[in-house]
């Protein structure tokens, strides 16, 4: 029953993203939701993952906030006459350890303008991130750890 409700939520998100509430589009969203759940099913087997809708909503709100703020920062950087950029790659030590958590964190970082997930170490303990402005990598690491990573842990554990 829980997976059915998650697939229904995916269908509604699909309808919102595509901008169409037509029945065929909702059915397509539902089927895509079932496909996604089937692909990630092994990450949810064994009771290690608890579905917390309010925590997931909190993560989504944080992402939207970070998306808007970083888009603004990148726009200001690009529009300034003297682009004082200090791009670089830094190693972010991971607290998350499951595939779904690492993938979600890497995708959230990549979708945020100005940052890009480059690679995960073989032992899955370090995520390499490229930042457009890497003048203070300690602050960026702290922001990721206290933001996306903390919210992912709250939502999926």
DSSP 1-51: -HHHHHHHHHHHHHHHHHT---HHHHHHHHHHHHHHHHHTHHHHTTS----
Specify the pLDDT at position 54: 87
The 10s digit of each residue's pLDDT in 68-78 is: 999 999 999 88
Span 69-114, pLDDT tens digits:
999 999 998 888 888 888 999 999 999 998 889 999 999 999 999 9
Does 91 or 39 have the greater pLDDT score?
91
pTM: 0.75
């Amino acid at each position: 029953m829980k997976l059915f409700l998650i697939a229904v939520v995916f269908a509604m998100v699909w309808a919102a993203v595509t901008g169409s509430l037509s029945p065929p589009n909702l059915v397509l969203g539902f089927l895509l939701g079932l496909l996604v759940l089937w692909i990630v099913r092994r990450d949810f087997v064994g009771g290690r993952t608890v579905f917390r809708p309010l925590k997931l909503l909190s993560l989504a709100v944080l992402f939207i906030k970070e998306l808007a703020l970083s888009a603004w920062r990148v726009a200001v950087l690009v529009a300034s006459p003297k682009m004082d950029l200090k791009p670089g790659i830094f190693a972010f030590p991971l607290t998350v350890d499951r595939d779904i958590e690492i993938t979600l964190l890497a995708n959230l970082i990549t979708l945020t303008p100005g940052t890009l997930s480059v690679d995960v170490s073989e032992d899955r303990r370090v995520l390499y991130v490229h930042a457009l402005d890497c003048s203070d990598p300690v602050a960026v690491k702290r922001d990721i750890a206290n933001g996306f990573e903390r919210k992912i842990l709250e939502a999926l554990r």
